[in-house]
Amino acid sequence: MNICVFASGTGTNFKALILSEKRKKIKSSISLLITNNSYCGAVQTAVKYGIKYKVINRTLYPDIPETSYDKLFLSAVEEQSIDFILLAGYMKLLSSQLLKVFRNRIINIHPALLPSFGGKGMYGVNVHRAVIESGVKVSGITIHYADEKYDEGKIIFQKCCAVSNDDDEFSLMQKIRKLEHKYYPEIVKKFEEKKIIISKNKVIVN
């Protein structure tokens, strides 16, 4: 199967996914990166590993109507025969045409235990700062299907870690990154093996 990753930032999860392909932990090929930010770390990683990338950003297409802009995403993934999409720090809402065609084939990873600490503005270090300030004793990662809202699709997988008294947002981010890099590829493998089943409102991972 062919995977497209959407990323806007540093791209450490993107890199972890590429390495899991190289180490044969997943069978699919990471064939395409889509980003809104041509200067992001994920683009540098794509260049380093020879992965095609496409920058889609409204400022690059100022004159086309919204529906045509929306269609650029679907066209880009269809051109590369993409089977499923992984979001890894993508900072935009998804195109509605893409969501329609790829329903239940788009997965996102979030660096906290949803439904807490998600939604607009909850990205990067902001999430970990909010976690620390709230005083909760556990945080973790959530891997979920993506839909038209931020961080609200059906939850596939969660893993928690302790928030220690001496953690700050940066040390917590490091802990969470380790979990993300380990478990995102594992869930991709489950997806490849068709071991993720949607049953009413729940997702069962076998």
Residues lying near ligand GRF in the complex (CB under 6 A) are found at 7, 9-14, 88-89, 109-111, 123, 180
∠ Cα 21 23 24 (to 5°): 60
Query: Which residues are catalytic, by number?
Result: 110
Q: How far apart are CB 179 and ligand GRF at their closest, in Å?
A: 9
Nearer to ligand GRF, 54 or 175 (CB): 175
Q: How far apart are CB 39 and ligand GRF at their closest, in Å?
A: 13
Nearer to ligand GRF, 84 or 123 (CB): 123
Nearer to ligand GRF, 76 or 109 (CB): 109
Phi, psi of 56 (to 5 degrees): -125, 115
Nearest by Cα to 75 from 47, 45, 97: 97
Q: How far apart are CB 101 and ligand GRF at their closest, in Å?
A: 22
Nearest by Cα to 110 from 120, 95, 102, 96: 120
Give the CB-nearest residue to ligand GRF: 89
Q: How many CA atoms lie within 13 A of 174 on its CB side?
A: 5
